[in-house]
Structure 1
Amino acid sequence: MKKLLYVLAFLFTATTSMAQLNTQRLLDIGRNALYFEDYVVAIQYFNQVIKAKPYLTDPYLYRAFAKLNLEDYRGSISDCDKALEINPFLPKVYYCRGYAYRQIGTLEASTDDFKASLKLEPDNINTTNLLIENLIRQKLLDEALSQCDSFLIKYPRYTETYLLRSQIYLEKGDTIKASSDLDAAISINTDNDLAHAFRAMLRYEQKKYKESIEDMNDAIRINSFRSDYFGNRAIIRMQTKDLRGAMNDFDAAIEIDNKNVSVYFNRGILRSQVGDDNYAIDDFTKCIALDPSNYTAYLQRAYLRNTTGDLKGSISDFTKVIERYPDFVVAYYGRSEVKKKMRDQLGAERDYYTALNIENEIKSGKRKQKTGKEAEELPTAESRAIVQQLNKKQNDRYKSDIRGQVQYKDIDIEPLSNFVIGIPSSDLEIQRKTLFNKQLDDYNKRQGRKVQFCIKEKEVDSAMLEEYFKAIDNANNILSKDSLNESALMERAYCLSKVQDYVSALKDFDRVLPYHPNNVLAYFNRGNARLKAIKENNFENNVPLSEYTMAVSDFMMAAKIDPTFIYALYNAGYVYMQEKSFQKAIECYNNAINIYPEFAEAYYNRGLIYLFQGDKAKGRADLSKAGELGIHGAYNVIRRYAY
């Protein structure tokens, strides 16, 4: 008996040790993936650890960092909350959550978290600097200055803190002390490109253009890969009338970053000044394409279109500005001039007197003039080169150090497609498991196949095509003797679908179902064949509702026969999305998720619907979950549309 107890105890200990070993191994692999910036892969490993041991803090923390790098800030905050519920004394968790709050603009909560982190880890340089940056953005300048002073007593040669303190002095209007701090930063580290760039812009504001260019030259010599450095040097050169040099710098800036809105805008200004109006219009058009809310670009383009004779285009641009800023008299006067050219005398007079009336009301006090942030947004008639302020978004330098962010990959914002039965594509970055289905398992055993439920199938090659035609011939032989053989009809219908003969496939499914009304796969495959037929018939933008209705009916019938058949529910939801019956689609996805709470594709599509309906909070939550479960494209959508 003692021997038996000893053996059982040994087995239990060995099993426990193995589980610990496996969990630690998964955690280590996840950390390695995190280190190599494979964030989506890392999340999958941390998910497994959390499933096995939900009481550990590390997997929540690491997953929070992965989500942070993917810009899923709400998801990161949620994971940090869970880690702190388990252990409230983790400085890195407060740091991570503080950074996430900072990125979504919740500065007060971010500042509180950075302070909590520093209580536990007082000498953390990154946390201290982020706290100071937050305080500057919150206009708590005295507290920010106190933090800088205290930190520089401990670390008198840390240049970034001098840069931060210089920004505080600039906010306070003390350019002498700001300049002194920038000088100190450069004397400590002459290769600090940011310090040279900051000092260049300070000297630019002081109209010390020669010294400003010298500093910007040094910044570019140290770091020649920053588009904004070239853009800012171009601005300075414009002030010294070195227009050729300015144009070369703008071109270099765009070569480094062809999505730099400010550079396109400023190059457009320069081109308009030298009379290169058509190319200037091109630059403003690119600027607007990248930033549709840049009304100053609309205004500049309106004037240039008027000059080049594109009067309708000019009217359109002036109107765009007026719609956004209905009190902006300059746009009314500009549009009035264009209408005169178009011989629309009535319209020209209407705009002219509207502008005059607005001016008189402002002078008399009947109409309030725009102030504060709204006034800053207004374009002005004398709009010229806008210098990129290096200090307005200092956190960009932290962002730029994070590589491999899948949320920056260009993807189409479309729902994930319907599930089909087939061979999954091997190029899927994350292979997600599919749930067991007895009928599919029986079909695979009967036909010697290994097909699965998948969204993206392997492309049919010549060998597969030959195999399908051979299977069709075999099924034909069987059906010539037994025309209602269920197995042969199912096999032939499946293969006919794969060779894109959807009409014949549908006929076979139609023959199966009257005699085998509980054949779940027949309904499922027939629904998919209908969807394929819709695409083949090129309905696309004008699909008869009856086509979609029959497909939905098949999927819902499959789900009725097998209430756990999540792929049928998902497909019904997908078809409802195509019909724009969003509430019905949500119900289908809800049911599928209730059955299988890790159904990534359902979360993704439901998240898109919520975003379309304007419910960003629910959309973010669903897309975050989809990303967590392996759909990397979700992070791109979160970044672009969910905040």
Structure 2
Amino acid sequence: YYLEDYQGAEIDCNNAVERNPYALNHYVLRALCRINQNRYALAEEDYQKAIGINPLDHGSWHNIVLCQIELKEYERADSSLDMMLRYWPKETEQYTMKAQVSLLRTDTLQAEKWTDRAIDLDAYDGRAWSLKAMFQANRKEYKEAEVSLDKAILQLPKTAALYVNRALVRYNQDNLRGAMSDYDACLDLEPRNYLAHYNRGLLRAQVGEDNLAIEDFNFVLNLEPDNTIALYNRALLLDNIGDYNGAIRDISAVIKDYPEFWDGYRQRAAIKRKIGDINGAERDEFKVLQARLDAAAGKKHPVRTRKKSERNIEDYAALVEEDTHEEENEYVSEYRGKVQNRQTELQPEPIYSLTYYKRESETNTYIAYCPEIEKINDRKALPKQLFLTDNEASMTEKQTEAHQTSIRTLSEQLDKKPNDRDLLMRRALDYYHIRDFENAVSDMNALIQENGADALALVLRAQCRFAQLEVSRTTASASDLRLGYLMVVQDYYKASDLMPDAPFLHYNIGCVQVQLADYMAAQKSFTRALELDSHFPSAYYGRGVAYILGGQTEQGLSDLSQAGEYGLYTAYNLIKKYSKK
């Protein structure tokens, strides 16, 4: 069971039941094996046998209800909950589950009544407050919903979905900074949360944090390359920061899918005028003029939010919310805490990057080793302490402005000392932090050309090139991407010649090789990182991903398990997903 071999564990349980049909734990364990194989009807049979042996086995009753919910037998689930209320009338769990079943039966009024009863019984029930907030938000009682979510988060501070929900109610009260803070909190818990990245990108754009917003939309587009709404939002941001060719590229891709999206033509025309393409601009403007003459009168009022499944390009500025509000079904087990339901993409953790800003993780406390960072920090050659992290913190507007000011000052100094190593490194880091990767690479080229191979310069150039590729992944040709990734790998290899004992370099190489679909090479790179540091959780995770992508699922699951033990809890979501295949 612990090795995720549920079929084998079920066979062992069958033998145990034959030998002793009166042992409750045999049925409970076999039911969990069946749940993990999506065989809910058979799992329910086992739980029914378990409560036949012990009618007061709370965990079995709980899981009977959840199996009945999975089977869409809501009336039976209601009846089972009625029995639980007789046995345990003062436990709020049954009331919130009754509310959930009422919702599934589309009886919202009854669902809220059950939720209120749960809160009356226990004012510290986080799940009940979460449900209450949902009802209030549906009635547009956003202030009251925020208060309810505050109470839910106080009790369930590690539940990422609560921060997403509170961000939406704060947004509906025009509290943009508060909403962004909640998306940050969500991404601390779930770094790959799609909704949080997408909505934070929109909010960052609204408050003028264009470069940071682009990063969020890059993430969304890496997950969903065909997401034209995200592509158009990125185009608007690229226009804002002066990347006109990139903006035209993205808008053109959107127009190809939506040839009657007139805002796209209007926006592209304006950008073409900025780069002197008057003929191109006039062609786009003529299309818009034709559309105005042909269009029916009136323009629809823009919406503030849209469902995740709704893909109307006209609603590009609307925040996204989940299609349905579903409480996660958690199967209680003394053998294994809970079945994870969070979605995780099959890709390594982020690469390790040089930065002034890192976000602390409560679970993954691994610190990457880099001797050259220690040296440059000891010399105090930089204005701030330099970190090596795979979890960069977002910058404030004030910090962004400080980097822009620093670039101007350093540029004046470099006019007098054009080859000064420390000045070039400082300015390149400033460029990196405001996401001007092209100029950062240019400074590192100059540094390396003048001073020869430099480990930190190679690492910084590699991470900037990698970041550039992540931006263009959805639109660049396969051959251009491949060439770009190979250049990144080459820089990391050169850096590893200068720092042979730095595990993070081999880890980063492995991550890039996964992007190149060279899974065998990636496995070797992650293995080399682990030879240098056997307690490197992201390397276990990355190698596990490379094994699974290469068709070696068993070895992959073993590595993911090791990553989980070292604090990378997202590994357990992949274990759950791929152990069933």
TM-score (norm 2): 0.49
Flag the structure with higher helix content.
Answer: 1
* Length-normalised TM-score, structure 1: 0.45
